[in-house]
Structure 1
Amino acid sequence: MIDRRSSLLSLTAAAAILLVAAHPYAQSQSSNPPLTPNEKDYLLKVLTHSMPFGRHPAVDGAPAVEALVFVQIVVTRDGRLIDSRVALSSGHAAIDAAGLDMFRRAAPLPPLPAAIAGEIATFVVPVQFKTQGR
């Protein structure tokens, strides 16, 4: 039997990975090579692992908001999160903070696979939030 929540979570994470490549921010970072299949697989694991730790922020006095924040994470080979910062703001401080907090609460992250070289790796990960209107 397929766990519907896990399947939905994986589909959402997979869609987020695809969103990275299509988003103008990602395209503007032309000096960075495109993600390899191994990096995409790893980011899918990171998002699948991290999403349950996400908490939808309250955006005081705002109508319903759907926003995307890009969070840069730096991960060691064993999955320790050694840095995280907002690479591209959603335009809402509460949503940006929620994106950062999600990865901090989820740490340690999955370890880097052997196919990703180096002792540390840096990624920019999209995190999308939908808030309820007030």
Structure 2
Amino acid sequence: FRRYPNAARARRQEGIAQLRVSVGRDGSLLALSLEATSGFPLLDQAALETFRRAAPLPKVPEDRPAPVELSFPVEFFMR
């Protein structure tokens, strides 16, 4: 679901955005925020959009407490 923004690629911008995600039992995206910037607004926005496109996320197993809050790095590097 991750897409490297063309404008960021053209400017050779690279980085890692750290996101905080809260997921409901049914996999719904309850909250999404930027914990640490990649250093580039285009990449930060693309990282947030990654999770919005992926929703709904996998369901939280019944044996786990819900909602679940996780931290995810979203990497943008040209290889």
TM score, norm. by length of structure 2: 0.86
| 1:81 match | 29
State the 1:116 CA deviation: 2.2
CA distance in 1, matches of 2:62, 2:16: 30
Which protein is bigger by CA-based radius of gyration? 1
Q: Percent identity?
A: 35
Deviation at 1:83, TM superposition (A): 1.2
Q: How far has the Cα of 1:86 moved from its partner? A: 0.4
Cα-Cα RMSD: 1.9
Choose from 20, 36, 40 the match for 1:72. Answer: 20
1:104 paired to 2:52? yes
**What CA distance in whole angstroms lies between the structure 1 residues aligned with 2:10 and 2:54?**
29
Alignment of 1:11-26 (within 5 A): none
8 A Cα contact 1:56 1:131, kept in partner: no
- How far residue 130 of structure 1 moved from its aligned partner, in angstroms, is 1.9
Where does structure 1 lack aligned partners over 5 or more consecutive residues? 1-52
Indicate the structure with greater helix content.
1
Q: Which has the higher strand share?
A: 2
User: Alignment length, in residue pairs?
Assistant: 78
**Structure 2 residue identity aligned to 1:120:** P
What is the CA deviation profile of residues 5-33 of structure 1, one whole-angstrom value per residue up to 9, with x for unaligned ones? Answer: xxxxxxxxxxxxxxxxxxxxxxxxxxxxx
Runs of 4+ in structure 1 off by over 2 angstroms are: none
- TM-score using structure 1 length: 0.53
> What code does the residue aligned with 1:65 have?
Q
Where does the alignment leave 5 or more consecutive residues of structure 2 unmatched?
none
